[in-house]
Amino acid sequence: MPNVIIDCLEGRTVEQKRQMVKRVTEAIVQTLDCSPEAVQIIIHEIRDDQLARGGVLRLDQKK
């Protein structure tokens, strides 16, 4: 069973997530020759206060 974990910033709509998991599943089915039901996808949504680059939280980088 292929397992996919996707880390992304929060703020995507449910429809965007539906499209993403559909297309990711299609790509895995085509390349790994498995059934769509075998593909499991976990989406981790990350808030701006949970991600940092260069020692600065993303939340503070927007300022």
Cα–Cα distance between 26 and 30 in angstroms, integer?
A: 6
Catalytic site includes residue 2? yes
Residue 15's contacts (CB-CB under 8 Å, 6 or more residues apart) are none
Strand partners, 42: 5
Tell me which of 2, 12, 24, 41 is the catalytic residue: 2
Which sequence positions are flagged as catalytic?
Answer: 2
